[in-house]
A and B are shown apart, each in its own frame.
Chain A
Amino acid sequence: MSDKIKFTIDDVEIEAEAGQTILQAADAAGVYIPRLCANKNLTPHGSCRVCTVKVNGRSQAACTQPVAPGINVESESEEIKAYRKSLVEMLFVEGNHYCMFCEKSGNCELQAVAYRLGIDAPKHEYLFPSRDVDASHPEIFIDRNRCILCGRCVRASKELDGKNVFQFVGRGIHKKVAVNSDAKLSDTELAGVDMAVSSCPVGAILRKRVGFAIPVGQRLYDAKPIGSDIEASRTDK
């Protein structure tokens, strides 16, 4: 228990507890590794792959890979940064994301990570899928155009809310989030206060009638880039 595990991320010495993932250890040490599907209150998912790092030269997802003594983790190399950009761009072209009129703008983790990685416009071709919106629920709506399939709602509903409101259906590029009813969100047990709602990193699951309560300019990522909170606790500098 007491034995610390020592390893390096981009040559910075990190001390970790046994059983931590690379991402958890990095967070604790104030080193930000970009991520989207990971959320500290939820079981790691390993799906967005934005947290990809190289561990002793091999690509791994930092959010699922456990720390080990002496490993050499590469995170901010040109190669890894290019992968991350490409992955985030994939998430943009896969859905229909219009930041300029999305109420989540400024609070959106996808947008914030994109800015932090220096993405201006995706290099990939837009796929313009046709996706459903479900506004049947009195308090909440789901707009699948903005869903990035991170599975946070699926996990939060199970792990934090003790329900089972969301699950993935279909496979491949046709995979999507479905709700636990014959068709509509309003027929599920979902409540406005559920963690499944607030854990959505993008504007896919939103509470109704609170959209522009916080003005643009005062939103989460308006002043400082995403990850700044983690970096503020950096210990080695």
Chain B
Amino acid sequence: MNENLEAVIREICQKYANDSARMMDIVRDVQASMGGVSKVAMKAIAAAVGVAQVEVESVVSFYAHLSSESKGKVVIRLCNDFIDRMFGANRVAETFEKEFGIKFGETTDDGLVSLEYTPCIGMCDQPPAALINDRIVTWLSTDMASRIAKAIKEEGNIDKLNLPNGDGNNSHPLVNSMVHNNLREKGDMIFANFVPGAALKNAIAETPVECIKNVKASRLRGRGGAGFPTGMKWEFTRGADGDEKYVLCNADEGEPGTFKDRVILTEAPELMFEGMTVAGYAIGAQSGVVYLRGEYQYLTDFLNDVLQKRRDAGLLGKNILGKEGFNFDIRIQMGAGAYICGEETALISSCEGLRGDPKNRPPFPAQKGYLGKPTSVNNVETFCAVAKIMEKGAPWFAQKGSTGSAGLKLFSVSGDCKKPGVYELPFGTTVKELLQKVGAEDAIAVQVGGACGITVAPNDFDKEICYDHLATGGSVMVFGPGRDLLELAHSFMEFFEEESCGYCTPCRVGNTLLKRRLEYIIEGKGTPEDLIYMETLGNTIKHTSRCGLGQTSANPVLTTLQNFRSLYESKVKPSVDGLQPSFSLDKAVGLSEEIVGRKSIHHHD
């Protein structure tokens, strides 16, 4: 058994040249073949690639999809974020629990099924959704959950259910998925016709420096959320010292409510790969890596096939389009369930086979990034925009959108609206205009920018969505009458508590404290002082955290406190006896009571 295990692991490690920088692939493969990465497996991996065993443990323990314990043959990961719960995820969860006779977080005794919750898997426009191993199931009902459970119990998989495929390339034989694009409004950019090679031809007709000049002239800013000018980032990377350079594509798409990259990956992967290749030419890189979130594993065969076709067509590989010395190729790196890996330095750590801890800056990735080399990390949509800029020219792009925010932007709209899905609209569109398009005129709140964004109240619906007013990497979540916004804030705080990498104190501890205090308020045990406490704590987390996660994780509380304060005020009351209502003596002495086996006698109210 152990010899066999070691042989399997040796083979897996050899597949990746015993390179510890490919640790993510190694542990993912080990997990896939053995159901988990046990201590014995860790030891064998460590020996094969030449690192300490605890380093392997460090990686495995970081990612939600990896585990040292053996999981069931079938792992069902049900998305339980707020939107999915609005649309019945709880009932679906109950059905699964009843069918399999286990709770979420458990594995059946026969090792057949594990039930787990997962944060947003990028399917909020077709909720409730779940991952069943690598397959995605959407628009789950309790009926469907029963059918799925039956199939798994009978067949060990859901292949025979013949779930209907989704539209577009979701029906492609290499994708074969029931996911839908819900592409509601196409502009003339990302989803317009594109002939592979069209952008590259124009790019290589210029020098790399001219290419960068064009990107700068287009005024393109990063589509991943932070909005850094793309041309400038490329200029820094091109100018940095280094024999090798890298282009990384951020396809981690973990911000709750964002799913537009998924639709790009499904319908316009050529455009994205072409943008990456343009970047390779412009900054002088020979390799590119797409960091694809583990949840989108179902797209890898399809994407690899597109890559192969581009190699065959001379659009990747050596001397691209006959340009002597222009060599560039792309590989796909899978993630394994960690929101923080969308942060660019954490993404680099993960690509290097490490825990997804962000890195200290400086040095910035443009100076010292992937494997210590100058690296440009850009979002999926940013690369697509670059390709269009090369094809159509910088002025064509620059004249679209608003003053500070050029171009069109993809929005992923979900929640209480008639037409959830992806919209390509100019920057500068107001919340109100967007709500009209999606059929949600009765919204009581709109979450712009995902969990880390802003909870916008109706009196701000006139504001423009753009980098300078309401910024978003694409996520727009709509909440209609009757939705509980304190519960919404709470669900976002749960998300951040779960997804903090734990490296720095304010984010690791502060988010837990903030979430707890919010819980007391929701339970009716809050005082007016608690609101001030939360503001102070939120600002401390914001101003002392090491990376963008902690710098924005208090936003759900801070922005609802600002825009919906009356909701909080109606929940809190001054303490009558000077004691903290949130303190429970029963709870405080509970463990001691259990240990001594007696009940404490004290005053109950």
Contacts and interface: CB of A to CB of B under 8 A. Distances in A.
B512 A127 contact: yes
A170 interface: yes
Contact of B501 (A59, A82, A167, A171): A171
Interface in A133-180: 149, 164-175, 178-180
A152 to B, nearest CB: 14
Nearest to A183: B39
Interface string A89-103: 011011000000000
B52 to A, nearest CB: 4
A52 interface: yes
Given A124-B513, A167-B54, A172 B508 contact: yes
Contact of A82 (B54, B58, B540, B546): B540
A172 B544 contact: no
Interface string A67-97: 0000000000000001100110011011000
Interface stretch (A5-13, A27-35, A40-48): A40-48
Contact of B52 (A45, A125, A175, A180): A180
Contacts of B499: 171-172
6 contacts: A49-B546, A124-B513, A124-B537, A170-B502, A172-B501, A173-B508
Given A83-B540, A166-B54, A171-B501, A90 B506 contact: yes
Nearest to A54: B543
A59 B544 contact: yes
Top 4 closest pairs, chain A to chain B, by CB: A175-B502, A164-B52, A90-B509, A180-B54
Nearest to A182: B39
Contact of B505 (A49, A164, A170): A49
Most-contacted residue by chain B among A49, A94, A174, A178 (CB, 10 A): A49
A82 B536 CA distance: 9
B500 A59 contact: no
Given A59-B544, A94-B509, A172-B498, A167 B52 contact: yes
B464 interface: no
B384 to A, nearest CB: 31
B516 A125 contact: yes
Contacts of B355: 168, 171
A61 B546 contact: yes
Contacts, number: 133
B55 interface: yes
Contacts of B582: 125
Contacts of B600: none
Nearest to B59: A169
Interface string B498-535: 11111111101111110011000000000000000100
A181 interface: yes
Contact of B360 (A46, A94, A169, A173): A46
Contact of A179 (B54, B508, B546): B54
A164 B517 CA distance: 39
A59 B356 CA distance: 23
A123 B506 CA distance: 14
Contacts of A168: 58, 355, 502
A90 B510 contact: yes
A37 B506 CA distance: 14
A64 interface: yes
Given A44-B360, A149-B502, A169 B57 contact: yes
Given A172-B497, A172-B501, A47 B546 contact: yes
Interface residues of A, number: 43
A48 B513 CA distance: 16
A173 B54 contact: no
A94 B500 CA distance: 15
A180 B544 contact: no
Q: Which of A50, A83, A183 has the most CB of B within 10 A?
A: A83
B513 A125 contact: yes
A227 interface: no
Interface in A173-211: 173-175, 178-183
Contacts of B51: 164
Contacts of A180: 52-54
B506 A87 contact: yes
Contact of A86 (B53, B362, B537, B546): B537
B216 to A, nearest CB: 25
Contact of A87 (B52, B517, B544): B544
Nearest to B551: A59
A5 B511 CA distance: 38
B427 interface: no
Given A49-B545, A94-B509, A170 B54 contact: no
Interface in B40-87: 43, 51-55, 57-58, 61-62
Nearest to A180: B54
Contacts of B53: 180-182
Contact of A90 (B54, B361, B505): B505
Given A48-B505, A59-B543, A94-B509, A171 B57 contact: no
Contacts of B338: 171
A47 B500 CA distance: 13
A129 to B, nearest CB: 10
Contacts of B540: 82-83, 86-87
Contacts of A61: 360, 546
Contacts of B54: 164-167, 169, 178-181
A52 B508 contact: no
Contacts of B537: 86, 124
Given A49-B504, A86-B510, A164-B54, 12 more contacts: A64-B361, A86-B537, A90-B510, A125-B582, A127-B509, A149-B505, A164-B55, A165-B54, A169-B57, A170-B62, A171-B500, A178-B58
